[in-house]
Structure 1
């Protein structure tokens, strides 16, 4: 397997994991989750896909990791545009098959892949793991109606202030996370990976609240696999089921990993089981 890293024309740093052998390679573009960088969590999946004969691409969204862009600016529409930029890059590589490109996304990226595929019908198939259908339910699902309305009003005022003054509150990633799993994950990894130790706009919460991936899923017609974890407290499995139900494609499948939490999927026995299911899906439809 060859590993090549370069920056595309939009300032996005891309790592290509290319299997050995002759001929154009089928492509899987791997799309990271919330504030993720390509050095963590994704390499195991990329290496497994490359070992199965696929060219696997990982990348950093603009504003994160090694890519250009304003640090920490997280807007779903911009990240979907980044995915499409990487797809265009892949289509221009002579050693890659421009007609056989699939998308794989995890967590936030598992939402984004539907927005990308809805815009680019050439995408052959999708794997979405640990994603959600409705950002409002993720952000304010534990609030009562009064708390929710007050919270949204506060975010709206902050957005208006940002528009008028150009200034906004920048906070550590953990300030905008509500679940213990993610807080522990980011606390551990920002020490191991300094590029993750950044500040992001507090209004990222508002971006997430307004994000409705199910609307994109309804527009998708390519074969789509949705993977959920039974004990996920980050993006609860009922959100994954709702996302699956919204998919417009005739060929779709829901796979639930039993006894797994959100971050369990990335390593160990849970990873081995999930990667097998996902590889089979790509081999069938890509």
Structure 2
């Protein structure tokens, strides 16, 4: 396996893992989750796919990890633009078969792959794992009516202040997370990966609230595998089922890993099960 790291002209940091062999290889682009950076979680998937004969590419979104850009600015539409930029670069690389390009995304990235693949003939197949279908349900789904109304009013006031003055509140990542599992994950990993210890706009919550990946899924026609964790409390399984039902593609599959929580599938037996299903999908459709 040959590993190449570089930065694109717009400052996006990428890591290309080239599979052994001389023939042009199909390529899989892996898209990270919420505030994720390349060294965490995705390498194990990228290495497994590369060992299976695919060239793979991981990257940091603008403003995160080693990429340039305003620190912590997280806008779904901008991150989808980053994926499309990476796709365009990947297609120009030697030893890559640009006609056999797949997308893989996890959590927030699992949402973004639908936006990148929507009405996009460059994408031959996708895998989305642990994604959500509707940001409003994720952010306010457990709130009572009055609580939700007050929360939305506060966000609208903050957005108006930002528009008028250019000023906004930046907070630690765990301040915008609503579940204890994700808070514990970020607190643990920022000790070992200082690049994760950043502040992000509190209005990221508003961006997530207005994000509807199911609408993009309705525009996806390529073969799509959706991976769910049965006991996911971050992005509950019903969201993945809603994404599956929204897909325009006639070639689609739903895989549910029994007993797994959101962060379980990156290691151990859960990973072994998941990677086997995902590798088989890419071998069939790329």
TM over 0.5: yes
Between the aligned partners of 2:148 and 2:10, the Cα distance in structure 1 is: 38
Between the aligned partners of 2:72 and 2:118, the Cα distance in structure 1 is: 26
Between the aligned partners of 1:258 and 1:46, the Cα distance in structure 2 is: 23
Between the aligned partners of 1:102 and 1:152, the Cα distance in structure 2 is: 37
In the comparison of the two structures, how many residue pairs are matched?
Answer: 286
Partner of 2:4: 4
Match of 2:34, SS? coil
Partner of 1:199: 199
Partner of 2:123: 123
Give the RMSD, CA atoms, in angstroms.
0.6
Q: Structure 1: state its 5+ residue gaps.
A: none
Partner of 2:58: 58
Contact 1:10-1:85 within 8 A present in 2 as well = no
Contact 2:119-2:221 within 8 A present in 1 as well = no
Give the TM-score normalised by structure 2: 0.99
Partner of 2:233: 233
Q: CA deviation at 1:120?
A: 2.3
Per-residue displacement from partner, 1:124-166 (whole Å, max 9, x unpaired)? 0000000000000000011011111111111011000001000
Aligned counterparts, 1:1-286, within 5 A: 1-286=1-286
Q: CA deviation at 1:94?
A: 1.7
Quickly say closer, same or farther: Cα 1:12–1:245, change in 2 above 3 A.
same
Q: CA deviation at 1:121?
A: 2.0
Give the TM-score normalised by structure 1: 0.99
Between the aligned partners of 1:121 and 1:147, the Cα distance in structure 2 is: 43
Q: CA deviation at 1:84?
A: 0.4
Match of 1:226, SS? strand
Between the aligned partners of 1:151 and 1:244, the Cα distance in structure 2 is: 30
Per-residue displacement from partner, 1:158-208 (whole Å, max 9, x unpaired)? 000001000100000000000011000000000110000000000000000
